[in-house]
Chains A and B, each alone.
Chain A
Amino acid sequence: MSDSPTTLSTPAAASLARHRAFSLVRIGALAANTLLDLIRQKVFYFLIVFALVLIGCSCFMDFIRPELQFQVIKDVSLGAMSIFTWLLSVLATAMLLPKDIEDRTLYTILAKPVPRFEYLLGKLCGVLLLLAVSTVIMGAMFSVVLFAKEQFVVAGLRHELGGNPAALAEALKGVYAGTFSSALVAGIIAIYLKAAIFAALTLFISTFASSYIFTVVISVAVYLIGHLVPMARDYCLSGGGGFVAKATVAVVALLFPDLQLFNLTDDIVAGNAIPLPIFLHTCGLGFLYIAVYTCVAYFTFAKKEL
């Protein structure tokens, strides 16, 4: 090496270009790097499990009525999507910071002209991209299975009721009404948003957590408690109850996100449509959570002694 003919170029007029306080290029580099790293850690293997769940609930349910089969496919697939994206979000995000600190990669990154806020934002964007890719893939797999099942049932009906066009039309109407609807997309977006909120929240927790396990445990606790927030809120707004009990429950309702608001799939699978303004409000709330958690993550991380 020392006898290598290659020599170093002289330092460094190039680096004297004006430093930008905020750079999308740096955030993009961090996000792409996080995504690539996670993908190469073979996180997408969980999709095989998802596929098995899909196959299981679509192939071995022939003994129940077709309408109920559609119901089961939708319930189970969307439930699995919800749990997988959430798990992926928590587990992937929780290890980002501790791993970078342990491997000292964080030191090399922050020793470059990278503000800490950009580092956090880049990492978060990487996880959000990963979640988006997985949600799209799972959504596509789900649609294919549902479509296949629909076609299978339709073919059966055509065979059975071929001689009676009126009855066939009625039956087909029922089948089509029970399979795809645009509200399903809204439900899937809500699943993604919930996972995205957890990515931001987990990142925040990991900025002060002492270990990976701690971060995961706290995130799971927030998940469980977050679903009880509407009950806590109702209790606060209702009459009666002692001051101490009310104050305690109020703290829960204030500190934890109301995760029930992002559980749209149960109601959407039940055939409800969600009005666009309400859906947009729900999305807005989701973005607000992500923004707030990212900001508090920065406040704790900004002065962290590494």
Chain B
Amino acid sequence: MSEPAISIRNLTKVYPIPFKRERVVAVHDLSLSVEPGQVYGLLGPNGSGKSTTMKILLGLVSATSGTTRIFGRDSTRVESHEEVGYLPENPYFYKFLTAGETLRFYGRLCGMGGQALRDRVHELLAVVGLEDAEHRRLGGFSKGMLQRIGLAQALIQEPRLLVLDEPTAGVDPAGSRDIRDLILQFKARGITVLLCSHLLGQVQEVCDRVGILHKGRLVCEGELDKLVAIENQTQLIFENASPELLARFEAEAAACGARLVEKSKPHAPLERFFLEVTK
């Protein structure tokens, strides 16, 4: 069996409060595992320990106890970062650098260089749709463009795992949809994605599996479809159904002991409406 992309075992992080005896437990005995190729959504309210967990996984913060592994390698070791691309929440980067320079910089940090790096930079700029912005400085970039350059830098060394912290925070719906599509594209390429987000709708669209953190504890975890499906309910949507037909359905259902819970006209998602209007 292949190694899990992420394996977190009994992770606990305690922050001491300076000059006080109290301590804050940010993550409490967390264990979870993400299989290669999965898109895993880590959900939770603000302060639930999502970012801390990500930072521990990336070696930015040290764990009080427990282990974190990336493709079987101890994630506190720098070498393990070769397999990871990370996009933090609201990244800014060096605003005096151009998009091309930024990507080349991150490429060199990963030991890349020469023609291979130049090709990779062009490839990634095309993937995130910033070919025209290669020679523009990041200082003039919109939020969505910054987020896309962030994704490109995360992918520069062709990592097998992507860690994305609120990738669509502050991005407009069009940009948001682009990022969602990119995540789906990564998934199709076999890249494992760990996604932290507040936007549950979006998580629902892309994630295979989710874990919900609350006050540092993993309160729920599982396949998305199974978690959100209401086992004893079924949804039917008709087109051109006459009131008579509907009345017959209702009567039939009541006769068989089923209860009609809701009858309404479905709405087009606001997102689709917005995108059509702003096209």
Taking beta carbons and an 8 Å cutoff, which residues of A are in contact with B?
A: 1-2, 4, 6-12, 14-17, 19-20, 23, 25-26, 28-30, 33, 36-37, 40-41, 102-105, 107-115, 303, 305-306
Contacts and interface: CB of A to CB of B under 8 A. Distances in A.
A40 B116 CA distance: 27
A2 B181 CA distance: 6
B180 to A, nearest CB: 9
Interface residues of B, number: 58
Contacts of B40: none
B82 A19 contact: yes
B253 interface: no
A66 B77 CA distance: 65
Q: Which of B60, B116, B155 has the most CB of A within 10 A?
A: B60
B208 interface: no
A18 B117 CA distance: 17
B94 A105 contact: yes
Given A33-B97, A107-B86, A15 B110 contact: yes
A306 B61 contact: yes
Interface string B149-167: 0100111011110010000
Interface of A is mostly: loop
Interface stretch (B120-128, B198-206, B215-223, B265-273): B120-128
B233 to A, nearest CB: 32
Interface string B86-115: 111111111011000100011011110100
22 contacts: A11-B191, A14-B116, A15-B157, A15-B158, A16-B82, A25-B108, A26-B108, A26-B109, A28-B108, A104-B90, A105-B93, A105-B94, A107-B55, A107-B60, A108-B93, A108-B150, A108-B153, A110-B81, A111-B81, A113-B81, A114-B78, A306-B61
Given A15-B158, A303-B62, A2 B178 contact: yes
B92 A4 contact: no
B279 interface: no
B129 A107 contact: no
Interface stretch (B182-190, B224-232, B256-264): B182-190
B94 A113 contact: no
Given A15-B82, A25-B108, A104 B91 contact: yes
The 7 closest A-B pairs by CB, nearest first: A103-B92, A2-B181, A40-B96, A29-B108, A111-B86, A6-B126, A1-B129
A113 to B, nearest CB: 4
B88 A104 contact: yes
A74 to B, nearest CB: 36
Given A6-B123, A12-B83, A33 B94 contact: yes
B132 interface: no
B4 interface: no
